[in-house]
Structure 1
Amino acid sequence: MLARMRNLAFAAAAGLLAFAPLAHAADTLIISTGLGQPHLWVAQHMNPFADAIEKGSNGEITFTRFYSGELTSVGRELDGLTSGTIDVAAPLLAPYHEGRFPLSDVTQLPAYGTTSPMVTRAFQKLLDSDVKLSNGKTFYEYEIADKGIRVWALGATAPYSISTTSKVLKEPEDFKGVPLRAGAALHTIVVEKLGATPVTLPGPQAYEALSRGTIEGIIIAISDWPSYSIEQLLRHTITDVSIGHWESYLAISNEAWDGLTDEQKKLFDETARKIALQNAQVWEDNVEVVKKKSMEEYNGQFTPIGQLSPAMQQHVAKAAADTWKTWIEKTEAAGHPARDTAKLYAQFIIEEGGKLPEGVAEYLGL
């Protein structure tokens, strides 16, 4: 089974110990996240997943849980898995692993009419697809297979929106020089195409940057505002155009996976897929909850893109389409099959009922 003994160095949450040895109990997996417990990928994904596995296995599998980077920080999850420090990363945030998951940003490409469940299903289809990309490998073979892990889609975040503290973005020129937070390389492209100034920083630093005026706004999912306590700072949001969705992985090391029985592997796979879709629905439902609180308590204003001027609508649409082209061309230039990946993902998004920015389908040859 899974009985192993090993020493694990971890920062104690209470600050009582800098390092401590930990015995790895029989049938117990170490599951870790770099995120805090209030985050929807923890409270509504990691914990429900672990609970379901423990229950579904009748206690044959249990988890020792670590939160808030106690064992592995954001962007170090893959190292934790391959070194044996942890067995399961929930989540493994691929965009923070610079250069190691070059195609996984594909869900951050802008679209219209997408929801969290739609993107979750589309991304899992991409992982499951047997379509060979231009290099002769499937998406999973290219992006995951050689990294010593097995992965499943998370519940995708709600659509990323453009939000500001005081600056009202009504016309294209209003973007000029405005410092906006971009959480990933692909979002940097979007911000640049809009004419604003990208400031790259992780979510936990958003509150301080917004409150100090280091940034004027942010590209992030509305339902993620409470995770970083920024709902009290943001006043103006453009909605109904998705600046993509942040997707990533629930990951288990090959070593831990190989220690499971066939029945346990089946339970793991089925549970991962089920919990991802449940989590996606929470992300989606929470948008209206956060919007209501913002409007009632902080005078937040939410403006659908369709209510802005034709010039503004065209400006955002062109920025969205240009982002697809720039990401594909930059990633292809680095030697990765981005065009085939984007085309396959776009097909899945269209199947789910989403719409591509004008000109993207033609560019992809769909």
Structure 2
Amino acid sequence: MKKISMLLMLLLASVFILAACSGGSTESSGESNGESSGASSSGESSNSEETIKLRVGSGVTQEHFSYQSFFNAWMERVEEETNVEFELHLGGSLISMGQGFEALNDGLVDVVMPLYPLYDTQRFPLSEVSMLPVVDTTVNAASKAYADIVFGNVDIVDGKNYQELEFGDRDLKLWPAPTTEAYSMSFANGQPTSMDDISGLSMRTPGRVLEIFSREIGVNPVSLPATEAYDALSRGAIDGIYFSISDWSSYGLDELFDYTIRGANLGYFSHIFGMTQQTWDSLPADVQDVMERVTHELIMSDQTYQTFRDLEEKDLTANAEVGGVVEHISDQPQDIQDDVSSAMVNTWLEWIRINEENGVPGREIAKIWRDLIIEYGGDVPQEIHNLE
């Protein structure tokens, strides 16, 4: 009997010990209030430690200036301040340049960095306003001016802002990223000494605005993705290229140019990035807040643009080592200065005319771009000051 009593006592003791142990481990972070965590939180704040994984797709690599100056820092900040983890598929491994919108709609990736609306001006005609030529302007000023437009801080026509006019029915959540540095003219076959040397050349152009400019100065525009520029220059298929100096090394171009004319700021290639509205709505509110805040802070940060200066210095040094020469537009023969200056003005006017004829408010957004560039410390050709 004593043995049976002792056995019962041991069994009861074991039950109490097990119950006590299990009572300290059943509560997990994010489950105590009965709410789910992660991307299914539908905009509600969540302190859950459950990781939200977002797939990032891009046609460029992390060596691209947009990642070195902005996207790497953006992702690092978001990961540090939230429970988001980014899974990177870069360098065209999942999506090619210019295919970002389709990749989002097809659910191939969650975020595209960057998106290139300038590669599809039929669908996104207003986006190329940043390519209108300006003078005495920095990438800081151009990026902040473009950010104001993308953030929707200004109405363009009929009370609608840029995103409503350009992307209104596409259910996307979009942010601005820094533009490139100003585009310069680079030549692979020696220094032009007059407009006769430039007229008739074939130059790679990134879009419609520089196609207009090219025709104004007698150049044959060749539309090519940046990824094909190295091969085209190496084979002699084109004579030169319009490109930003700080982006040369991203494509191996720093070793190919004999001569570059800078100072005639032939546009700032603009980028955006983002996700579908459905993905955005699925994120907790605290994650959304961090993404919004970090975007604004990095766009306004001087450190973001110091990266451009560092990259430009590096590329100029590399180009000089292979005999390349870079000179300002003010150092060019007078006929080059005059023709380039006239072409810059005519490019604005022709771009406005084409858009207005197509029912796009080109004049209104051009004036907004002009005013924002001046507001942020840049300038435009004198004739454009008087544009009404």
CA distance in 1 between counterparts of 2:212 and 2:307 reads 28
CA contact (8 A) 2:39 2:284 kept: no
CA distance in 2 between counterparts of 1:285 and 1:346 reads 27
The reply on whether 1:211 has 2:234 as its aligned counterpart is: yes
The reply on whether 1:54 has 2:79 as its aligned counterpart is: yes
Deviations 1:211-241 (CA, angstroms, capped at 9, x unpaired): 1111110000011110111111101001111
CA contact (8 A) 2:174 2:274 kept: yes
The residue that corresponds to 2:267 in the other structure is: 244
Q: 1:311 aligned to 335, 352, 376, which one?
A: 335
CA contact (8 A) 2:187 2:257 kept: yes
The residue that corresponds to 1:221 in the other structure is: 244
The residue that corresponds to 2:56 in the other structure is: 31
Residues 37/131 of structure 1: CA separation in 2 closer, same or farther (3 Å cut)? closer
The residue that corresponds to 2:168 in the other structure is: 145
Which segment is superposed worse, 267-276 or 218-227? 267-276
Residues 2/98 of structure 1: CA separation in 2 closer, same or farther (3 Å cut)? farther
Larger gyration radius, structure 1 or structure 2: 2
Q: Which runs of 4+ in 1 moved over 4 A?
A: 1-4
Which segment is superposed worse, 46-55 or 207-216? 46-55
Residues 148/161 of structure 1: CA separation in 2 closer, same or farther (3 Å cut)? same
CA contact (8 A) 2:180 2:244 kept: yes
The reply on whether 1:200 has 2:223 as its aligned counterpart is: yes
Which segment is superposed worse, 127-136 or 337-346? 127-136
CA contact (8 A) 2:134 2:264 kept: yes
Q: In the alignment, residue 347 of structure 2 is paired with which amino acid?
A: T
The residue that corresponds to 1:293 in the other structure is: 318
Q: In the alignment, residue 79 of structure 2 is paired with which amino acid?
A: E
The residue that corresponds to 1:92 in the other structure is: 115
- 1:159 deviates by 0.8
Q: 2:360 aligned to 314, 336, 357, which one?
A: 336
Q: In the alignment, residue 73 of structure 2 is paired with which amino acid?
A: P
SS of residue in 1 equivalent to 2:243? strand
- 1:173 deviates by 2.1
The residue that corresponds to 1:270 in the other structure is: 293
Deviations 1:146-177 (CA, angstroms, capped at 9, x unpaired): 22111111111111000001242232222211
Q: In the alignment, residue 45 of structure 1 is paired with which amino acid?
A: F
Q: In the alignment, residue 81 of structure 1 is paired with which amino acid?
A: L
Q: In the alignment, residue 186 of structure 2 is paired with which amino acid?
A: S
Residues 236/185 of structure 1: CA separation in 2 closer, same or farther (3 Å cut)? same
Matches within 5 A, 1:164-175: 164-175=187-198
Scaled by the length of structure 1, what TM-score is found? 0.88
> Which ranges in structure 2 are unaligned for 5 or more consecutive residues?
1-36, 41-49
The residue that corresponds to 1:134 in the other structure is: 157
> Which ranges in structure 1 are unaligned for 5 or more consecutive residues?
5-24
The residue that corresponds to 2:106 in the other structure is: 83
**Percent pairwise identity:** 29
The residue that corresponds to 2:142 in the other structure is: 119
The reply on whether 1:353 has 2:377 as its aligned counterpart is: yes
The residue that corresponds to 1:190 in the other structure is: 213
Residues 43/149 of structure 1: CA separation in 2 closer, same or farther (3 Å cut)? same
Q: In the alignment, residue 174 of structure 1 is paired with which amino acid?
A: D
Q: In the alignment, residue 341 of structure 2 is paired with which amino acid?
A: A
Deviations 1:240-285 (CA, angstroms, capped at 9, x unpaired): 1110111110212111110122221110011123334544432233
The residue that corresponds to 1:109 in the other structure is: 132
CA contact (8 A) 1:317 1:358 kept: no
CA contact (8 A) 2:214 2:220 kept: yes
CA distance in 2 between counterparts of 1:84 and 1:62 reads 18
Residues 142/83 of structure 1: CA separation in 2 closer, same or farther (3 Å cut)? same
- 1:135 deviates by 4.1
CA contact (8 A) 2:38 2:284 kept: no
Deviations 1:15-67 (CA, angstroms, capped at 9, x unpaired): xxxxxxxxxx951111111112321123443332212111011xx11111110
Q: In the alignment, residue 56 of structure 2 is paired with which amino acid?
A: I
CA contact (8 A) 1:53 1:271 kept: yes
SS of residue in 2 equivalent to 1:103? helix
SS of residue in 1 equivalent to 2:261? strand
- 1:2 deviates by 4.2
The residue that corresponds to 2:280 in the other structure is: 257
State the number of aligned residues: 341
The residue that corresponds to 2:11 in the other structure is: none
- 1:129 deviates by 4.2
